[in-house]
Structure 1
Amino acid sequence: MTPQTTGKYLILFREDSVAEGVQLLSETFTTSSSDTLTFGELGVAVVAVDPTQLSSLNIASPDSPILAVEPEQVLYALQDVTPEGAIVSVSVDYLRGYRDAVTTLSDSLISSDQSQAEAVIDESAVTWGLQATEVTQSKYSGAGIKVAVLDTGFDLTHPDFLGRNVTAKSFVEGQDVQDGNGHGTHCIGTACGSKTPGVLPLYGIAYNAEIYAGKVLSNEGSGTDSQILQGIEWAIANGCDIISMSLGAATQPGQSYSRIYEAIAKRALKRGTLIVAAAGNESNRSAGIIRPVGRPANCPSILAVAAIDVQLQVASFSTQGINPKGGQIDIAAPGVKVRSSWILPLHYRTISGTSMATPHVAGIAALHAEATGLRGQELWNLLAKSAQRLPLPSVDVGAGLVQAP
């Protein structure tokens, strides 16, 4: 699949030459201020120019303040998928026919050989994901930690979050931060949901963390690099310790990572901010299809999260670290049949995806940050060191299943 681009370009400046780089752009291109967006904290600009003009920047020169140029892309909230890896989109007639065809077979299989995991895991009080990651045994709550979730926004009216310290901002033109999709509210719920939800089971991890809800994806579930970068800069400027991004775009085998997102993530780590991102849902392992980690999770300095199911097996849809340059899986978390908060009037919903695994890691990172005072790369190292090793390839689950302190 060819990446969808916007016609604009991302320009990466040397960290010590941002002002010089901005000056070079103004001298090289005849653009209005509305055609250029500069992120001083990140050392990046987004410009709308004719691609033939880019060669005049001479970025190959060792004296150039510009390190890289890339087309601006569109990213997406990773869609809800079934445990088998297929996107949920079938007709009612098909479902009825399928039901009739398998009724006899399913009745014969429901016996003492039924899935032991489903029989053992009781979610009446706590979701299986919080149980598997030892959140229920932790004495930490994320107090004093700032967690930014960059997604489709947040349902500010959700009763489970009334009274919480929530800072919210929209970077989507024409749409306020109120979540009209549900994806963002679900992710925030897992990372930072209430200790006393209106309806059990308990689904939230860092229930005392400060929530920063950045709307970087529209209510339709898509957004541009510009919007994502605005959200990242906002989170860093506000001193957020962890940034959770359940978004991305598919990559191809052999494709390298974005130099610009890599530089941003590396600079964020040096400032003490850990960026966690979903590895992607493009695989369908039951059909023998395994796809590489998506953008921007494939950057070496972004913590890429794979999804596992209740039996601690890699989810069929979860991508794999198959690209040689970057693109590794760093850690795994519960991502199949995950219950969390949803936009009203539904309140709660159970869905699957690496999108659901990512906020598990973000929330648990907040607990470790509170417990140890570690930030940035040291916090990353601790998450990897404390993960539960799994009898699965590291290309699928990285260091293993994330564990709470």
Structure 2
Amino acid sequence: MKIHTTVLSRLTLIAAALSLAACSQRSAPVQSALPAPAALVSGGQIATVRIGADVTEAALRSAAPGTQIIAFHPESGYALLSVPGTLKAASLSGQGLQALGVNAQGVTLEVDQELEVLNDTSAEGLADGLGATSWANGATSWANGATSWAGGNTFMQAKDWASTQEYWSLINLQAAHRLVPELGRGVKVAVIDTGIDLNHPLLRGRIDTVGAWDYVGGDATPQEELPVTGVKKYGHGTAVSGVVLQIAPNAEILPLRVLNPAGRGPMSRVLQAVDRAVASGARVINLSLGSDTDSAALNAMISAAIAKGVVVVNSSGNSGTEGMVYPAQNLTTGKFTVNSGLLGIGSVDMKGMKSFFSTYSTAMSLTAPGEKVVTSYPDSRLAYASGTSFAAPAVSGAVALAMSTGAADLRPATIAANLRLTATPSTDATYKSKMGQGVLNVGSFVSRYR
């Protein structure tokens, strides 16, 4: 959700300033092979319209003039419309939609709310001047997995390398990599976030530039950008992507930038991104963001994605209180079952105890380490990242590992069940009953598929 980082190796003030300034400049847009998404008018409402399988997109446009189509899925029985604030909502139940067989009960309206990398003061906050600028001995990727992290012990200080190995040990990662030498190959993980550093040496070569899109900048180059003042949530998406690839080094990241440098963006962009992720062949969607308000539109999109075999992983929130952010909170409402394929992930420390900032719930799926996780940070640097934002992508990476085995049963429901069944039981006596089935055990999980 938010990001808290600790310096691995400090830059001089001059070097830091030059590096940050360089990364704040956008690269030239690349050409996407997919159609450019529509630029939506924000500040209005979103309509979830229940339609029949025979309804055409042209007919829907004609029936709801003045709206924009966010997603059109008659095969799944729905379409999503962006309704400008200047358009009277009552017009959506007019004769046009009625002619398509849609009555007033077939239209659900909601505010185009803002989602965010949650700004709870109890966790995560981004500092500048972090990371390593020297990549000794050609350390360029997480290739070959945890057993050979591109010579990691040569470009980190000893204490940082020890911290990384402690992290791997807690989630049983090295055993997982021995069992699954594919290391996530052939599996695309959509990171719907602030964008990523497209040139980071630990990410380069593992990015889907065909499906990538920047909904903030309106082009096919979802490069993270510095805000005008401060660093805000700069580096969030890069750090999330780094965790995914640390778990599944051969997976492919599909970066979809929906959040501005302050870590905020309208729901309509997130809906577009989920739709694009599925259309681009993503098999895992990582949502390290959330809201305190439910969304019928997002629920419809997630349900449709799961029906197509996609696992959706959501961080639980950083308020330290009971309950989770939406959409994960819907695991408590019954809109999604515990083994539906939507996962709500909390955070634990390196001893397996609940992170002080992590939310908790009896309906939580499981937890993963989310404190001081070493991962990638813009400008070819590294950072320690803390928050449930960085617990979720560990689970996304684990799912990618399992999917790369090509096992017979990779249905989202089966994957969700196996993640929970193989989790290491929690040792936290206070929160044990409200932190899911335990801590992610990647080795035990993938053993179900090998």
TM-score w.r.t. the length of structure 2 is 0.67
Change (3 A) 1:18 1:131: farther
Structure 2 counterpart of 1:66, which letter? G
Instruction: Report if aligned partners of 1:306, 1:396 keep a CA contact under 8 Å in 2.
Output: no
Deviation at 1:18, TM superposition (A): 8.2
Instruction: Report if aligned partners of 1:11, 1:66 keep a CA contact under 8 Å in 2.
Output: no
* Among candidates 236, 254, 265, match of residue 183 of structure 1: 236
Point out the more displaced range, 306-315 or 162-171.
Answer: 162-171
* Structure 2 match to 1:401: 439
Deviation at 1:25, TM superposition (A): 6.7
Change (3 A) 1:53 1:144: closer
Instruction: Report if aligned partners of 1:331, 1:384 keep a CA contact under 8 Å in 2.
Output: yes
* Structure 2 match to 1:106: none
* Among candidates 289, 293, 296, match of residue 259 of structure 1: 296
1:268 aligns with 2:305: yes
1:295 aligns with 2:295: no
Instruction: Report if aligned partners of 2:123, 2:318 keep a CA contact under 8 Å in 1.
Output: no
Structure 1 counterpart of 2:420, which letter? A
1:227 aligns with 2:299: no
CA RMSD of superposed structures (Å): 3.2
C-alpha distance in 1 between matches for 2:346 and 2:56: 40
C-alpha distance in 2 between matches for 1:363 and 1:230: 23
* Structure 1 match to 2:367: 332
* Among candidates 191, 208, 214, match of residue 166 of structure 1: 208
Instruction: Report if aligned partners of 1:79, 1:353 keep a CA contact under 8 Å in 2.
Output: no
State percent identity of aligned pairs.
28
Describe the superposition over 1:325-363 as per-residue Cα deviations: whole angstroms up to 9, x where unpaired.
xxx311111111111000015x11112111010101100
3-state DSSP class of the match of 1:156? coil
Matched pairs, number: 336
3-state DSSP class of the match of 2:276? helix
* Structure 1 match to 2:3: none
C-alpha distance in 1 between matches for 2:165 and 2:423: 19
* Among candidates 351, 354, 358, match of residue 385 of structure 2: 351
C-alpha distance in 1 between matches for 2:59 and 2:271: 21
Deviation at 1:178, TM superposition (A): 0.9
3-state DSSP class of the match of 2:112? strand
C-alpha distance in 2 between matches for 1:127 and 1:247: 27
Change (3 A) 1:205 1:56: closer
3-state DSSP class of the match of 2:162? coil
* Among candidates 16, 32, 43, match of residue 7 of structure 1: 43
Deviation at 1:220, TM superposition (A): 2.5
Change (3 A) 1:267 1:15: farther
C-alpha distance in 2 between matches for 1:45 and 1:87: 34
TM-score w.r.t. the length of structure 1 is 0.74
1:316 aligns with 2:356: yes
3-state DSSP class of the match of 1:292? coil
Deviation at 1:153, TM superposition (A): 0.8
Pairs within 5 Å for 1:357-376 = 357-371=391-405, 372-373=407-408, 374-376=410-412
Instruction: Report if aligned partners of 2:353, 2:427 keep a CA contact under 8 Å in 1.
Output: no
* Structure 1 match to 2:185: 143
* Among candidates 16, 34, 43, match of residue 79 of structure 2: 43
Structure 2: any 5+ residue segments left out of the alignment?
1-41, 128-158, 226-233, 337-341
3-state DSSP class of the match of 2:345? strand
C-alpha distance in 1 between matches for 2:125 and 2:256: 27
Structure 2 counterpart of 1:294, which letter? V
Instruction: Report if aligned partners of 1:11, 1:46 keep a CA contact under 8 Å in 2.
Output: yes
1:249 aligns with 2:281: no
C-alpha distance in 2 between matches for 1:232 and 1:89: 26
Describe the superposition over 1:145-179 as per-residue Cα deviations: whole angstroms up to 9, x where unpaired.
11111111111111123333533321113574111
* Structure 1 match to 2:413: 377
